[in-house]
Amino acid sequence: MNHNTPNAPLSPLPHTGEARFREAMAHAGPGAMITGLAALSLHRFASAPPPVMIDRVDVLVPRTRRLRSTGHVRVVRTAEPPQPVELDALPVAPVPRALSDAVAALSDPGVVRRLLTEAVSGGHCEPAAVVRELNRARLLTRPHVVDAVDALLAEGRSIAEDRLYAMVREFALPDPLWNVDLRLPGGPHLGGVDAYWPDQSVAVELDTRAPRQDDDALWSEYTRKREHLERLGITVVHITPRKLREAMDQQATVVRTALMAASDRQPAAYVVVLPR
C-alpha cells in the first residue's frame, strides 16, 4: 500500500526527527532536497529507519553549489537534480533517486534487497525507474545490488501479472490463454506471450524490461518477435506495468478494440499454443 496518496495524510514527524531534517535543510539552503535513507523514511518505507532514528541526513544539491558536509548532514551532489516532492513541508527526492542515494551508501545485501523490493511492492514506483537510477549511479556493478535488482524485477513482474488478470476480470474481457508459447506447426518457436486469444489472434505482452546496459539488444528481441507475429496476422498489444497501474481502463479498451477488430482482418496463420 502506498502511504503517500492524498487519501492517507501523513502524521507529523516526531519532534527530534523533524528538527534534524529541518536543520539539514537550513544548512543546505534553497534548491536542496532530502535524499537517501532520510528521504525513504519520509516516504514512509517500513524497511527504512523512522525519522527519529536517522543519525545522518543526506541532502541532494546541484553540483555547482559550494557546500560542505558537516555534523549529521552529508552533501550529495548531482548535475541534474530531480523534481522534489513535498512531504511534511520538506522538499524530498522522489523514491527512485532517494533509493539510489541510499543504496550507494549501503553494503548490507539484506537491507538493499528489502528497500528495493518495498519500492515496488509498496506501490511507490515502477521497477524500471529504480533500475534506471541505479544504472545512472553505476551501482549495477555491485553483486549484492544486482541480486537485489533481480528480486525487484521478479516482484514487479508478479505485480504486473496480477494487474493484468484483474483487468480481464474487472472489465469483463473474454478469458484468454495465460502465459503461453507460440510456435508454427513443425516450425520455429515464435516467442512467449502473457495472454492470447486464439479465436481473435490477439496477444498481450507485458513490457517489464528494465533499462540496463543490454537494453538495446533486449528491445531488438522484443521488436523482432512482435514484427514476426504481426506478419503472421497476430495482433500484439504491448502494455507496460505503469499503464496498467495508472490507466487500467484505457488498456482494457485497447485490448477490447483489438478483439473486436479481429473479424475485419485477414485470418491469421495457424499457430500451435503451448504452456509456458
- Render pLDDT for 74-122 as a digit per residue (tens, 0 to 9): 999 998 899 999 998 999 999 999 999 999 999 999 999 999 999 988 8
Tell me: do 251 and 129 sit in the same domain. Answer: no
Per-residue model confidence (pLDDT) at position 15: 46
- Give the model's pLDDT for residue 4: 43
Q: Give the H/E segment covering residue 275.
A: strand 272-275
Locate 86 and state its grid cell. Answer: 513535498
By residue range, what is the domain housing residue 125?
Answer: 15-157
65 lies in the same domain as 165: no
In a domain, 4, yes or no: no
Residues 153 and 165 in one domain: no
As a whole number of angstroms, the distance between CA 239 and CA 243 comes to 7
Share of the chain above pLDDT 90, in %: 55
More confident call, 175 vs 240: 175
The answer to whether 271 touches 234, Cβ cutoff 8 Å, is yes
Question: CB of 34 within 8 A of CB of 43?
Answer: no
Angle ∠(265,267,271) on CA atoms, nearest 5: 130
Q: Is residue 271 classed as helix, strand or coil in its secondary structure? A: coil
Could you read off the pLDDT of 188-225 as tens digits, one per residue?
889 899 999 999 999 999 987 655 544 565 567 778 88
**For position 133, what pLDDT does the model report?**
93
Let me know if residue 197 belongs to a domain.
yes
In a domain, 10, yes or no: no
> Which of 101, 126, 157 is the C-terminal boundary of a domain?
157
Mean pLDDT across the chain: 87
Same domain? For 214 and 227 the reply is yes
DSSP assignment letter at 36: H
Are 104 and 49 contained in the same domain? Answer: yes
pLDDT at residue 12 in the model = 46
Whether 215 and 114 map to the same domain: the answer is no
pLDDT of residue 26: 86
244-273: string of b/e by CB count within 10 Å (b at 16+)?
A: beeebeebbeebeebbeebeeeeebeebee
Same domain, 241 and 141: no
> Residue 29 above 90 pLDDT?
no
- 126 lies in a domain? yes
pLDDT at 11: 43
User: What per-residue confidence (pLDDT) applies to 36?
Assistant: 96
Domain count, the chain: 2
What pLDDT is recorded for position 23? Answer: 87
What residues does 90 pair with on adjacent strands?
Answer: 87
Instruction: State the pLDDT confidence band at 16, using cuts at 50, 70 and 90.
Output: low
Q: How far apart are the first and last CA of the chain?
A: 31
The mean pLDDT value for 231-241 works out to 92
* pLDDT for residue 263: 85
Is residue 8 predicted with pLDDT exceeding 50? no
Q: Which of 8-12, 163-167, 172-176, 266-270 has the lowest mean pLDDT?
A: 8-12
Query: Is 233 among the domain residues?
Result: yes
Confidence band, pLDDT 50/70/90 cuts, at residue 13? very low
